């Protein structure tokens, strides 16, 4: 099993996260022969503006003010593209989106969401997915997609 992604430290150089995310997206699109359009890029960048999930409406508002001709359906299509290609995740309970911290690798959207700072951290826990799949199978149910959104207080907020 892979080691877990590093915890989000509040005072980190977030510009690195953004640059890494954009570089990873460019690489992934080039490898899969997909178009990383200016809008897709801008949406990804905006979702990555922090580690807090970005609400769909905030995103639409922001992009409406920019000169990308971004009507809501276009923005939703860009979001779908980013989700399908594993570059961002949707946080269902918040109707919001957050950048994926290890794009290009197959994994579930399991999240630890801090109620204090609002950061959403990915939790790698393939054993949970396996337990759900097995439990569902016992009931004759084929599990396809699963999300897990755990709320609580993150390590940084506990320290302060
Ligand atoms: Zn960051
Ligand atoms: Zn992810
Ligand atoms: Zn926190």
Question: How far apart are the CA of 152 and the centre of ligand 3, in A?
Answer: 8
Alpha-helical runs (H) found in 65-147? 72-84, 126-138
- Please report whether residue 93 resides in a domain: yes
Domain CATH for 119 = 3.30.1490.190
Q: Are residues 65 and 82 in the same domain?
A: yes
Question: How far apart are the CA of 27 and the centre of ligand 3, in A?
Answer: 31
Domain CATH for 92 = 1.10.10.10
- Please report whether residue 5 resides in a domain: no
pLDDT in tens, 84-115: 999 999 998 889 999 998 887 777 889 999 99
Nearest residue to 38 (alpha-carbon basis) of 14, 66, 62, 18: 66
Q: Are residues 64 and 44 in the same domain?
A: yes
Mean pLDDT of 22-41: 95
Q: Are residues 116 and 94 in the same domain?
A: no
pLDDT in tens, 108-149: 889 999 999 999 999 988 899 999 999 999 999 998 888 899
Q: Are residues 123 and 159 in the same domain?
A: yes
Give the total number of structural domains in the chain.
2
- Please report whether residue 95 resides in a domain: yes
Question: How far apart are the CA of 64 and the centre of ligand 3, in A?
Answer: 30
Question: How far apart are the CA of 20 and the centre of ligand 1, in A?
Answer: 10
pLDDT at residue 67, as a whole number: 65
pLDDT at residue 138, as a whole number: 97
Q: Are residues 75 and 39 in the same domain?
A: yes
Q: Are residues 92 and 113 in the same domain?
A: no
Q: Are residues 22 and 95 in the same domain?
A: yes
From the CA of 118, which ligand is nearest?
3
Mean pLDDT of 58-79: 83
Q: Are residues 19 and 75 in the same domain?
A: yes
Q: How far apart are CA 87 and CA 140, in angstroms?
A: 32
From the CA of 151, which ligand is nearest?
3
Q: Are residues 54 and 131 in the same domain?
A: no
Question: How far apart are the CA of 21 and the centre of ligand 1, in A?
Answer: 10
Q: Are residues 111 and 95 in the same domain?
A: no
Q: Which domain holds residue 134?
A: 107-160
Question: Counting Cβ atoms within 10 Å, is residue 28 exposed (0-12), middle (13-18) or buried (19+)?
Answer: middle
């Amino acid at each position: 099993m892979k080691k877990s992604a590093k915890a989000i430290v509040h005072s980190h150089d977030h510009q690195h996260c953004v640059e890494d995310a954009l570089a990873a997206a460019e690489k992934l699109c080039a490898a899969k022969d997909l178009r990383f359009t200016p809008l897709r890029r801008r949406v990804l960048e905006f979702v990555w503006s922090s580690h807090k999930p970005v609400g769909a409406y905030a995103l639409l508002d922001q992009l409406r003010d920019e000169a990308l001709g971004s009507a809501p359906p276009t923005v939703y299509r860009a979001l779908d593209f980013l989700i399908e290609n594993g570059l961002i995740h949707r946080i269902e309970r918040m109707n919001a989106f957050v950048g994926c911290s290890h794009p290009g690798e197959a994994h579930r959207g399991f999240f630890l969401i801090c109620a204090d700072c609002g950061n959403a951290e990915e939790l790698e826990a393939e054993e949970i997915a396996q337990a759900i799949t097995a439990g569902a199978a016992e009931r004759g149910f084929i599990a396809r997609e699963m999300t897990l959104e755990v709320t609580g207080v993150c390590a940084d907020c506990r320290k302060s």
